[in-house]
Amino acid sequence: MHEAYDAKGLTILSATGESKDVVQPFVDQLAPVYPILCQAGGQVSQYSTGGVPSAYLIGADGKVLWQGHPNELSDSDLEAHLKAVAKEHRVSSWGFLLAQKLPPVPEKLSGVRKALEDLKFGAALKTVEGALAKFEGEEKAQAEALREWIAARGTRGMEKAATLLREGRPYPAAQAYEEVQSLYKGHDLAKQADEAVKALKKDKAHALEIKAGETLTKIKKEMAQARNAEDRLECLKPLLAKKYAETQAGKEAATLAAELEKSAKAR
């Protein structure tokens, strides 16, 4: 969502009532491209809807335009709201975060900042690596620090994917690898991620889990547009097939279907 809508005026801010000490390890592991607000016991609690996760869409005038579960916000509704955002009010959350976290950039590498703003980590990293031999002294130290900073996100992404796979979660692992592929296109890190995804999909069990996960993601978007419980049940049918019964997504779909059937009977 960030990559698709950041430039169109959607600023993503993740908020938690936990303290920074609790959240920091997750930030270090996931390396989000948007700010995270930590405020244990503070005003964050005023936005709680009683469910986790909860999301709010807030207009440039500060008014709440929508609230609910993140999966229930449709692309069409979001696009409609974004059309009303004046260009002068569009703020890139990644640009803001980049300004806070990016180490000093040598003047000769000023173009790297623009590449990073556009989430072209691969191009930025190749530029820095190709220019390292041209620097000396303090500028060389800055360039090396910049290279390590850019590469670190990809390394963490690969480590995250490997951890998810060890935990028996092939679909999220594939998503993590694919994010590295996208961000580091043109760099060796992207090739490593691509090879990892191909290896995952060669395993029949993993390939089935990935297919089921992709199907569930698509279904949840369709369910957000459905008018009632019966229509949502209809959306779930593809994942209720026998072949998906033992997959993680298939089990989640079965649970959702049971809840929807119960809801429909209670009406």
Q: Report CA torsion sign: 23, 25, 30, 32.
A: positive
Q: What is the pLDDT of residue 182?
A: 94
Q: What is the pLDDT of residue 16?
A: 78
Tokens read off for 232: 């949502």
Report DSSP letters for 39-99, one per residue: -TTSGGGGG--SSSS-EEEE-TTS-EEEEE-GGGS-HHHHHHHHTTS-GGG---HHHHHHH
Q: What is the pLDDT of residue 162?
A: 95
The per-residue pLDDT for range 210-221, each reduced to its tens digit, is 999 999 999 988
Q: What is the pLDDT of residue 90?
A: 57
- Domain 102-202 classification at class level: mainly alpha
Q: What is the pLDDT of residue 216?
A: 93
Q: Where in the chain is the domain with CATH 1.25.40?
A: 102-202
Q: What is the pLDDT of residue 2?
A: 61
How far is it, in rounded angstroms, from Cα 217 to Cα 222? 9
The CATH number of 2-94 is which of 3.40.50.720, 1.10.3720.10, 3.40.30.10, 1.10.760.10? 3.40.30.10
Q: Where in the chain is the domain with CATH 3.40.30.10?
A: 2-94
> Angle at CA 57, nearest 5°, toward 52 and 58?
125
Q: What is the pLDDT of residue 29?
A: 59
Distances (CA, A) of 34 to 83, 84, 208, 254, 262: 21, 22, 32, 33, 38
How far is it, in rounded angstroms, from Cα 32 to Cα 18? 17
**Intervals of the chain under pLDDT 70:** 1-9, 26-33, 39-52, 84-94, 96, 267
Q: What is the pLDDT of residue 138?
A: 94
Report which secondary-structure segment, H or E, holds 16: strand 14-16
Neighbours of 47 (CB within 10 A): 14
The phi-psi region of residue 147 (left if phi > 0; otherwise alpha if psi is between -120 and 50; otherwise beta) is alpha
